[in-house]
Chain A
Amino acid sequence: AQSVTQLGSHVSVSEGALVLLRCNYSSSVPPYLFWYVQYPNQGLQLLLKYTSAATLVKGINDFEAEFKKSETSFHLTKPSAHMSDAAEYFCAVSEGSSASKIIFGSGTRLSIRP
């Protein structure tokens, strides 16, 4: 069975500071992993995905995530936060066996302090 845990329901950083959002997963097979972002009153937008091609994945808006099998982690980072990064971020895992089997984390709300 798959599961995903996002550590911290709310993260606050200063503008220009490093953003680190944590995600740990559980999967019985090599997983596919995703990060999505949701701005207020909008749907979820795919930021990046890991599909086993490379452990460091680059996404939109300078976000990146690193797959660490030994730690079962897929943390999301951005070197320098912008005010526009304030949003809800969701980590998700899929075993790729069925179109329906993407499991989403509970989300982390990112706030940016001026």
Chain B
Amino acid sequence: ETGVTQTPRHLVMGMTNKKSLKCEQHLGHNAMYWYKQSAKKPLELMFVYNFKEQTENNSVPSRFSPECPNSSHLFLHLHTLQPEDSALYLCASSQSGGRSSYEQYFGPGTRLTVT
């Protein structure tokens, strides 16, 4: 596997379910990100992890719970979601430390539908 992978690619869940999204990067990066992409809205940064430590949480509801066990893996645990949470969830990774361009490399995304 190369680059950034995400599983599952598609997920349908009810509002009372609990599910998790997984992201893995094979690029040797130290920073990982979760984004939400909804139709007709700008890309929304949700969480940032730098060297496994959460460095940003952009006012994301607690029904979204991230986990970063190491620099290569990132999870997004979901519970009691709302229909408006239906979106494409994108994971990305980048280098970190010092002044750098920090371009981010994205996974293919998980298309989440909440019914």
Residues of chain A having any CB pair with chain B under 8 Å: 32, 34, 36, 41-46, 49, 51, 90, 94, 96-102, 104-107
* A100 x B48 contact (CB < 8 A): yes
Contact of B102 among A41, A102, A107 (CB under 8 A): A102
Q: Which of B14-22, B61-69, B75-83, B88-96 contacts A (4 or more CB under 8 A)?
A: B88-96
* B90 x A43 contact (CB < 8 A): yes
A99–B104 Cα gap in the complex (Å)? 9
Residues of B near A101 (CB, < 8 A) are: 102
Q: Say whether, besides A41-B111, A45-B106, A97 and B42 are in contact (CB < 8 Å).
A: no
Distance (whole angstroms) from the CB of A29 to the closest CB of chain B = 9
Interface residue range, chain B: 20 to 34
Q: Say whether, besides A41-B111, A43-B4, A51-B101, A100 and B45 are in contact (CB < 8 Å).
A: yes
Distance (whole angstroms) from the CB of A39 to the closest CB of chain B = 10
Q: Say whether, besides A41-B111, A106-B42, A99 and B103 are in contact (CB < 8 Å).
A: no
* A100 x B55 contact (CB < 8 A): yes
Q: Nearest B residue to A94 by beta-carbon distance?
A: B102
Q: Say whether, besides A43-B4, A107-B42, A102 and B99 are in contact (CB < 8 Å).
A: no
* A102 x B111 contact (CB < 8 A): no
Residues of A near B103 (CB, < 8 A) are: 32, 34, 46, 49, 94, 102
Q: Most chain-A Cβ atoms within 10 A of its Cβ — which of B33, B92, B104?
A: B104
Quick check: is B60 within 8 A (CB to CB) of the other chain? no
